[in-house]
C-alpha cells in the first residue's frame, strides 16, 4: 500500500465556518475523512496533519522523507510567502501535489504567486474539497507512471 501525508496549513482548521462563501461549508474533519476513504479505495494509506505554524509544517515535511511516497499540501497563506516551505519540499525529494479549495488565480494578485508550485509536481485549485481527492488521483497516477519507467 502506498503512503501519503495530507498537510493543511494556517487557518484551515477553521474550515466550515471560515468565509464559507470562499472556502465552503465542509469542515477539515470532513475533508480528512473524505481523503482517508478515497485514499483507501485507490490503495493509499492516508495520514493527515494540520498546523498554523510554519515550522511545524516544515518538520512534518522533513519527517515524511523515507516514510511517505508523496505529499498533498494546502499551505494556506504560506503558499504565497514561504521560501522555507519550498526549500523543505525540495530537500526531501518527494512528489508533492499542491491543493487549494478556492481558485487562487481568480482572487487577489498576491494569491497568484505560489512558492509551492515551483517544487510541486502540479497544482489543483478551485474545486473545493474535491481538490483533495483529485490530488490523490494525480499522485497515484504519478507514482504508477514512475514505477513503470
Ligand atoms: C487557503 C488559504 O488559507 C489562503 O491563504 C490561500 C487557500 C488559498 C485555499 O483556497 O485553500 O490563498
Q: Which residue in 23, 78, 115, 132 is the catalytic one?
A: 23
100 alpha carbon – ligand 1 mean position (Å): 6
Phi and psi torsions of 48, nearest 5° = -120, 145
For the stretch 21-53, pLDDT in tens is 999 999 999 999 999 999 999 999 999 999 999
pTM: 0.97
Q: What pLDDT is recorded for position 75? A: 98
Residue 149 scores a pLDDT above 90: no
Domain CATH for 132: 3.40.50.9100
Q: What is the rounded CA–CA span in Å between residue 129 and residue 23?
A: 9
DSSP assignment string, 70-86: EEEEE-GGGGGT-HHHH
For the stretch 47-98, pLDDT in tens is 999 999 999 999 999 999 999 999 999 999 999 999 999 999 999 999 999 9
**Among protein residues, the one whose CA lies closest to atom 1 of ligand 1:** 76
Q: What pLDDT is recorded for position 120? A: 98
Print the domain residue range for 127: 2-148
Instruction: Report the SS3 class of residue 100.
Output: strand
Phi and psi torsions of 73, nearest 5° = -130, 125
Q: What is the rounded CA–CA span in Å between residue 6 and residue 97?
A: 10
Domains identified in the chain, total number: 1
Q: What pLDDT is recorded for position 43? A: 96
23: annotated active-site residue: yes
Cell of 121: 509536481
Amino acid at each position: 500500500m502506498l503512503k501519503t501525508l495530507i498537510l493543511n496549513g494556517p487557518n484551515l482548521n477553521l474550515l466550515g465556518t471560515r468565509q464559507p462563501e470562499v472556502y465552503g461549508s465542509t469542515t477539515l474533519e470532513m475533508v480528512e475523512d473524505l481523503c482517508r476513504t478515497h485514499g483507501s479505495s485507490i490503495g493509499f494509506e492516508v495520514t493527515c496533519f494540520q498546523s498554523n505554524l510554519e515550522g511545524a509544517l516544515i518538520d512534518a515535511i522533513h519527517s515524511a522523507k523515507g516514510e511517505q511516497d508523496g505529499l498533498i499540501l494546502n499551505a494556506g497563506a504560506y503558499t504565497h510567502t514561504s521560501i522555507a516551505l519550498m526549500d523543505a519540499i525540495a530537500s526531501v525529494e518527494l512528489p508533492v501535489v499542491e491543493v487549494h479549495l478556492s481558485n487562487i488565480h481568480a482572487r487577489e494578485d498576491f494569491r497568484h504567486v505560489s512558492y509551492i508550485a515551483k517544487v510541486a509536481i502540479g497544482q489543483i485549485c478551485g474545486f473545493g474539497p474535491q481538490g483533495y481527492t483529485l490530488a490523490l488521483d494525480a499522485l497515484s497516477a504519478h507514482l504508477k507512471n514512475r514505477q513503470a519507467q
